[in-house]
Structure 1
Amino acid sequence: MNYLVTGGAGFVGSHVAQSLLDAGHDVTVLDNLSTGHRAAVPQGADFLEVDLADADATDKAVGTRRWDGVLHFAALSLVGDSMREPFHYLRQNTLTSLNLIQACARHGTQRFVFSSTAALFGGDDRPPPIADNAQIDPGSPYGESKFFIERALVWADRICGLRSACLRYFNAAGADPGGRLGEDHRPETHLIPLTIDAALGRRPPLKLFGDDYATRDGTCVRDYIHVTDLADAHIRALGQLTDRSVTYNLGNGLGFTNLEVIRAVERVSGRKVPWEPAPRRAGDPAVLVADSSRIRKETGWDPQYQDIDIIVATALRWREAHPDGYGS
C-alpha cells in the first residue's frame, strides 16, 4: 500500500515510516525539515520537502497519488515553549493540520492517523491510569492545539467520510533496536536522552524539574513507551479504519519516576548521572500513566519493550554510536 507520513524526518515519524517499509509498503515522507533531519528519513522512502503551512503546496503534495493512508506527525511539540508562545502554537499546529486534513478530504483519502498526546489530560492531576474517555483538560496550549485537531477530525469523518485514529501517546522513548534510527531533537527536552548525555559527559548536570510532588520519591511519574511499540500501534490502528474512527491512549501502563529513570541509565551505562533539583515547570502534572486496554483489546497490540532498562539500552546504543546525532 501507499502511505504518506508527515513529519517523517522526526523521531516518532521516522520510526513509523521505517516500520511501514519493513512491512513491505511504499512510503513517502513529507517534512519541511524545520526540526526533522533529512538523514532520519528511512532508506527506501520517497521524500517531499513541503511546509504544511502552505495550503497550495500541501494540496499539490497530497494530490500526487492516491494514498491508502496518511499518518500525521508534523507539529510543534514543546510544552514549555507553548506556555511562552501560546498563540504561535495554537495557530501553527491547527493551521498546518487543517491544511492537510482538507487536502486529504478533497483528494479522497479514506484513512488518517493522527499523532495526538497525553497533554490533553495535563491539567489537574487525576488518579492513574488515564482512560481514553477521561475528561479532556489540556494543561498547555500545545495540548489544546492537539485537541482542536482531534475535533476537526470528528467533522472530517461526519462530513467527508475521512476515518481517523487519534493516538494519544504518553512518553515516546528508546530507539530502533537495529540501530537504524534514534532520537535527535534540537534542542533536546526528553528525559531519557538528556539523562544519557549527562551520564556520557556531553552536557552539564541534569536538571530535575520538581522534587516535591506527591509521588514515591518526590519526582514526576511518566509512562514510557518504546518508539518501536508505538510504531506497531500505528500500523494496527490503520486496520481499524474500515468503517469507523477510533481514539486510543498509548502507553505501557507502567509509570517510572524521574529518579527511577536516572537509576536505569546508571545501571545500563555503568556511569554515574550528575543531576540537581530545579523548580517545577508550568503545565507539568505529577503523574501521567496510560490505560491502553482498549487498543490492546481491539487490535491485539502488545508492547514488546516495556522494561525501562531495555528502553534505555536501545537509546544508549544509538546515542553512543551517533555522538552528534544525525549530523555524525
Structure 2
Amino acid sequence: MILITGGLGFIGTHTARALLDLGESCVLLQRRAVTEMPAALAAEHGTRLFVEQADLADRDRVRGIGARHRVTGIVHLAGSVPWPPGGADPVDAAGAALDSLLTVVRAAAEWKVARVVVASTIGVYAGAAGDAGTRLGEDLPLPMTTGHVIPAFKKIGELLTDHLTAATGVELVNARISAVWGPLGRPASVFFAAPQLVHAAARGVAPDLSALYTPAYADQGTDLIYARDCGRALALLQLAPALGHRTYNVASGRVTTNADILAALSAHAPAAPIGLPPGRAPHAPADICLDITRLRQDTGYAPAYDTARAVADYLGWLGAGNAR
C-alpha cells in the first residue's frame, strides 16, 4: 500500500497509475476536500485505490490514515515549498512547508515504512558547473544560492532528508524531477514553453507565451520528461528492491528544444499558426540536461516517450475533450 501525498495532482495521478499498473494498492492523500475518486483510475483499479483528505499540518489526521491503511511506502509530492507566493506570512509559510516533510517522516517512522521518495527538482542544478551539452549527475556540487523559492526549498529538503535518514533509519530518497509536461498538467508554465505550444496547436491558435520568465526562442530547451514517464520512474524508485544511492535524477536524459516540439507539432497539427524566433533569447540560461544512468541501473527505467510520441499522445488527450 503506497501513500502518495498530492496524489490527485498532476504528477501524483500519473504516479498512482504507474503503481497500480505494477500491481500495488495506493492511498491518494489530498489537502483539499475530495468529492470523488478519479474516474479513470477508479474504473480500472477501484478495489486497490483509496482517497483520503488531510492537511499535512494535522499530524493526528495523518496518523489516522495509518490506522485505516497498512502503508508500506510513501511518495511525497505535496507541500514542501511555500508556493505560490503571496497571501501568507512568509515565515509561517516557510515553517508550514518544512513541517509537511517532517510530518511525512514522522509518519513513516511510526508506520515502519520501508522507503519514502521525496520530490526535488531540476532547478537545484541552476548555476552548477557544466559545459553545454553535458549531462549533470547527482554528485555534482550545487551552489548554496538560488534565484527562486522552489529550488531553494528543495535544496533545504534534500539536506533534511540526508540528516533524517541517518537519525530515524527511514530510507528517504530524493527524486530530482526535470521539467514535466503532458496530460493533467497546467496549460501554461512560467519555466518552459512546451505546454503552451501544445495547447495552442490543439486549439488552432497562436500560443500566449507572455508568462514565461525567459522569452521562448526556437533553439532553447531543457530536459523535458513526459508525465507518463515521470510517474513510472517514481513508481520504480519506490518499488526497487534495493537502491544504491540517496538521490536520483528523474528525467529524459536529453535536451528537448522548442524547435523539437514545433517539428513534432507540424506533423500532427500542420495548420496551427505557431512559430518562434530562431536562435536563443539574450541572456537565456544554459540548457540543462540530466544524467539518468543511476536511475536506469538501479530501477531499469528507460523513457518510453520521445518528443514525437509525447506530442501525439498529448494532442490526442486534449483532442478527446480534456481541458488539460
- TM-score band by shorter chain is 0.7 to 0.9
For 1:194, the equivalent position in structure 2 comes to 196
**Distance of 1:218 and 1:123 partners within structure 2:** 22
For 1:300, the equivalent position in structure 2 comes to 300
Aligned runs of 1:29-108 on 2, under 5 Å? 29-33=28-32, 39=38, 42-43=41-42, 44=46, 45-75=49-79, 81=84, 90-108=94-112
Distance 1:296 1:50, change over 3 A: same
**Equivalent pairs, count:** 309
How far apart are residue 74 of structure 1 and its match? Answer: 1.3
TM-score using structure 1 length:
0.80
Q: Is the 8 A contact 1:120 1:139 kept in 2?
A: no
Aligned runs of 1:23-34 on 2, under 5 Å? 23-33=22-32
Per the alignment, in what secondary structure is the counterpart of residue 199 of structure 1?
A: helix
Aligned runs of 1:1-328 on 2, under 5 Å? 2-33=1-32, 39=38, 42-43=41-42, 44=46, 45-75=49-79, 81=84, 90-123=94-127, 126-127=130-131, 128-137=134-143, 138-174=146-182, 182-185=183-186, 189=190, 191-201=193-203, 205-207=207-209, 209-210=213-214, 219-240=219-240, 242=242, 246-274=246-274, 285-305=285-305, 307-325=306-324
Per the alignment, in what secondary structure is the counterpart of residue 42 of structure 1?
A: helix
**Distance of 1:41 and 1:119 partners within structure 2:** 32
Distance 1:34 1:204, change over 3 A: farther
Q: Deviations over 1:153-190 (max 9, x none)?
A: 2222112111122111212223xxxxxxx224377656
**Distance of 2:78 and 2:204 partners within structure 1:** 28
Q: Is the 8 A contact 1:124 1:285 kept in 2?
A: no
Q: Is the 8 A contact 1:4 1:30 kept in 2?
A: yes
Per the alignment, in what secondary structure is the counterpart of residue 160 of structure 2?
A: helix
**Distance of 1:78 and 1:219 partners within structure 2:** 32
How far apart are residue 60 of structure 1 and its match? Answer: 2.5
How far apart are residue 29 of structure 1 and its match? Answer: 0.5
Q: Is the 8 A contact 2:187 2:196 kept in 1?
A: no
Q: Deviations over 1:39-67 (max 9, x none)?
A: 37821211001111323322322443332
Q: Structure 2: 5+ residue runs without aligned partners?
A: none
How far apart are residue 202 of structure 1 and its match? Answer: 7.5
Runs (4+) off by over 6 Å = 34-37, 76-79, 83-86, 279-282
**Distance of 2:204 and 2:56 partners within structure 1:** 34
Paired amino acid for 1:65: H
Per the alignment, in what secondary structure is the counterpart of residue 101 of structure 1?
A: helix
Paired amino acid for 2:155: F
**Distance of 2:251 and 2:264 partners within structure 1:** 18
Comparing 184-193 with 307-316, which one deviates more in the overlay?
184-193
**Distance of 1:104 and 1:281 partners within structure 2:** 47
**Distance of 1:144 and 1:164 partners within structure 2:** 19
Paired amino acid for 2:137: A
Per the alignment, in what secondary structure is the counterpart of residue 115 of structure 1?
A: strand
How far apart are residue 140 of structure 1 and its match? Answer: 1.6
How far apart are residue 312 of structure 1 and its match? Answer: 1.1
Per the alignment, in what secondary structure is the counterpart of residue 119 of structure 2?
A: strand
Instruction: Please provide the CA RMSD for this pair.
Output: 3.5
How far apart are residue 311 of structure 1 and its match? Answer: 1.0
Per the alignment, in what secondary structure is the counterpart of residue 303 of structure 1?
A: coil
How far apart are residue 77 of structure 1 and its match? Answer: 7.0
